[in-house]
């Protein structure tokens, strides 16, 4: 009798794992994402958004999730965060549709700085297919090294081809590590002060409206050094950036990090 009960219990345990195994195998972000998608499908948008935000806080996201977050914020009358999530989406998966939506929403709300150039598009596209390009590059590098080995084995000089190959991979390393970051920031505060130095004692250049988009070109302590395009500068009536007076200060525009939603 006892053996029979143990057998029944074992089969029940197997059946439970068979039913719940896929859910247990999912990571915490995947579970939250699945729950949020269900809520979104039921039009429970606020509850869905809270779960999506938790997933994003854990460093996970998908283009579809970011589009849904943008949709929820736009329909909640929050164009600043809608543009933030749209730009995060575009950085992951650049497309003409999302580009046009960003431009439309920014124009509708009178917000500047959202123009995305060809260079940015190419960088985002490169990052999107980065994994595939690394595999392809590794294969090409292997074939090239094999070719150099065969050339050397035949007694021919491989100095110049070797230099060319080294230069190419040095350039590729530089581009991957230092030129694939084009961070921008969206002003999230109702008012954000733009200073001419990374200090509260600097001169106030302008007060930026919520939703303004800026190019981040540097970082110093609690400040971002930013660049503003010519069109936005003229509309904001910015003064020419003065040189900072401190020893470590560089000329430019500065804004506190806490005032920006950063897109990388």
Host H or E run for residue 257? none
What pLDDT does residue 23 have?
Answer: 45
Q: In Å, what is the CA distance from 14 to each residue of 7, 8, 21, 130?
A: 11, 10, 10, 42
Instruction: For Cα atoms 206, 212, 213, give the angle at the middle one, nearest 5 degrees.
Output: 115
Residue 118 has which token pair?
Answer: 């060809």
**Phi-psi bin for 96: left (phi > 0), alpha (psi -120 to 50), beta?**
alpha
What pLDDT does residue 156 have?
Answer: 73
Host H or E run for residue 199? none
Instruction: For Cα atoms 45, 50, 54, give the angle at the middle one, nearest 5 degrees.
Output: 140
Nearest Cα residue to 183 out of 122, 126, 120: 120
Q: List the pLDDT tens digit at each of the 264 positions of the chain.
A: 545 554 554 555 445 445 555 444 456 889 999 999 999 999 999 999 999 999 999 999 999 999 999 999 999 999 999 999 999 998 888 888 998 999 999 999 999 888 876 667 566 666 666 666 667 777 777 777 777 777 777 777 766 666 777 777 776 666 666 556 678 899 999 889 999 999 888 899 889 999 999 999 999 999 999 987 766 655 555 554 444 444 444 457 999 999 999 998
Q: What span, in angstroms and rounded, lies between the C-alpha atoms of 250 and 199?
A: 11
185 has which bridge partners?
A: 214, 262
Domain at 2-108: CATH code? 1.25.40.10
Q: What span, in angstroms and rounded, lies between the C-alpha atoms of 255 and 239?
A: 15
Q: What span, in angstroms and rounded, lies between the C-alpha atoms of 65 and 174?
A: 32
DSSP letter, residue 239 = P
Residue 92 CB contacts under 8 Å (≥ 6 apart), including other chains: 61, 62, 63, 66, 124, 128
Nearest Cα residue to 113 out of 21, 260, 235, 228: 228
Q: What span, in angstroms and rounded, lies between the C-alpha atoms of 217 and 150?
A: 46
Is the Cα dihedral 187, 193, 197, 200 positive or negative?
negative
Domain at 184-263: CATH code? 2.30.30.40
Map residue 213 onto helix, strand or coil: strand
Q: Order of strands, edge to edge, in the sheet holding 223-227?
A: 204-209, 191-195, 253-256, 223-227, 213-220, 184-187, 260-263
195 has which bridge partners?
A: 204, 254
Residue that the structure tokens 């609690």 belong to = 222
């Amino acid at each position: 009798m006892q053996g029979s009960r143990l057998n029944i219990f074992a089969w029940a345990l197997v059946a439970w794992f068979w039913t719940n195994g896929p859910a247990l195998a999912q990571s915490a972000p995947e579970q939250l994402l699945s729950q949020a998608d269900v809520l979104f499908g039921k039009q429970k948008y606020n509850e869905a958004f809270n779960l999506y935000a938790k997933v994003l806080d854990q460093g996970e996201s998908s283009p579809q999730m970011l589009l849904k977050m943008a949709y929820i914020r736009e329909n909640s009358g929050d164009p600043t965060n809608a543009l933030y999530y749209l730009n995060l989406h575009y950085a992951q998966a650049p497309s003409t549709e999302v580009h046009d939506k960003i431009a439309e929403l920014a124009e509708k709300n009178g917000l500047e700085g959202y123009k995305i150039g060809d260079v940015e598009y190419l960088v985002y596209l490169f990052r999107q297919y980065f994994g595939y390009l690394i595999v392809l590059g590794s294969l090409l590098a292997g074939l090239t090294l094999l070719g150099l080995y065969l050339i050397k084995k035949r007694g021919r000089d491989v100095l110049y081809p070797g230099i060319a190959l080294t230069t190419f991979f040095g350039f590729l390393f530089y581009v991957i590590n230092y030129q694939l970051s084009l961070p921008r920031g969206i002003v999230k505060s109702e008012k954000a002060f733009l200073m001419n130095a990374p200090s509260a004692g600097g001169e106030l250049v302008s007060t930026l409206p919520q939703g303004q988009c800026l190019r981040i070109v540097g970082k110093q302590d609690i400040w971002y050094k930013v660049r503003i395009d010519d069109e936005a500068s003229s509309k904001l009536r910015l003064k020419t950036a003065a040189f900072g007076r401190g020893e470590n200060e560089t000329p430019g525009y500065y804004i506190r990090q806490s005032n920006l939603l950063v897109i990388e």
